[in-house]
Structure 1
Amino acid sequence: MKKSLLTLGAVLTLTVISCKKSEGGNKSIIKTDSSTTVVTDNNGKVDSVTQSSSTVDVNGQKTEKTDFVYKATDGTLVKVIFKNDPKESTVAITSNKKTFTLIKTETKGDETIYKKDDMTVRVKGDSLHLEQGNNIIPLKRTKI
């Protein structure tokens, strides 16, 4: 009986000691990078609009992808990704976990038009108008 109690006491003591939480945290987790990213436009100036851009060169053909955040008049934030590659140019609009991808059909001066089925997107400067049937949703590029 004494041996059982001593063994049980030793096991409980070892369990408490081994389960003690360290305040240093998990050493195997990679710490986040605290550096800041500065986005510049094509002229090398710092861009004040939240965006991310990448260019990939595959077999001498460049594909450019630029992400922006747009805001609707009701305050809803929408992620818009412009992709230009040698085959086609597209715009992907993501809102409420749904993504719509439209193909560039024409450029009129400073306005670019993307279409797919009954959906049309007109991009002019910092504004984007999403048209579907009789519904027109104006979006404005935002700074977050």
Structure 2
Amino acid sequence: MKKNILALAAILSLTVISCKKSESGNKSIIKTDSTETLVTDTNGKIDSISESSSTVDVNGKKIEKTDFVYKATDGTLVKVVFKNDPKESTVAITSNKKTFTLPKIESKGNETIYKKDDMTARVQGDSLHLEQGNNIIELKRTKI
């Protein structure tokens, strides 16, 4: 009986020692330079609703991506990513594991319009008005 307990204790101690996690990380990951972008409202105050913003310099061209979470009137949460690069500006709307990417077609005053096929997104302040055929969805930016 003592031999069984000693053998079990030895196996447990070897298991604990051999399962030590390495916190050094993966050395082969390439890190990109990114800076935090602050989103301000019309009064110049920092917008605390912003979830994530980054600016990446790729071959001398700056690409800015800003992620937000919007909430529909039925309570559904939607991830919205605004991407601005020298070639084009787009909005990617993700809900129910589906992503729709719409290019920017017009910007007038405080309203920006993105459109692709029969889907149109109108962004004004912290609201997003999404139209697809006869369906109209109202989204408001939210805090998580």
Q: TM-score, normalised by structure 2?
A: 0.76
Separation in 2, partners of 1:67, 1:16: 51
After superposition, the C-alpha distances for 1:51-80 in whole angstroms (9 at most, x for unaligned) are 210001122211000000100001111000
Structure-1 separation of matches of 2:80 and 2:130: 12
Aligned position for 1:72 = 72
Which runs of no fewer than 5 residues in structure 2 stay unpaired?
24-35
In 2, Cα distance between the equivalents of 1:11 and 1:61?
67
1:52 and 2:52 aligned: yes
Structure exhibiting the larger radius of gyration computed from Cα positions: 1
Deviation at 1:28, TM superposition (A): 1.5
Q: Does 1:62 align with 2:62?
A: yes
Q: Alignment partner of 1:19: what SS?
A: helix
Aligned to 1:137: 137
1:28 and 2:25 aligned: no
Residue of structure 2 in register with 1:13 after alignment: 6
Corresponding position of 2:96 = 96
Q: CA deviation at 1:109?
A: 1.5
Query: Does the 8 A contact of 2:37 with 2:54 survive in 1?
Result: no
Aligned to 1:34: none
Which residue number corresponds to residue 41 of structure 1? Answer: 39
Equivalent position amino acid for 2:51 in 1 = Q
Residues 66 and 83 of structure 2 are in contact (CA less than 8 Å); yes or no, is this contact kept in structure 1?
A: yes
Q: Distance in 2 between matches of 1:56 and 1:85?
A: 10
Root mean square deviation, CA, Å: 2.9
What's the CA shift for 1:16? 3.8
Quick check: 2:39–2:50 contact (8 Å CA) kept in 1? no
Q: Which moved more, 1:12-21 or 1:88-97?
A: 12-21
The normalised TM-score by structure 1 is: 0.76
Equivalent residue pairs, number: 128
Contact kept? 1:39, 1:51, Cα under 8 Å? no
Sequence identity (%): 69
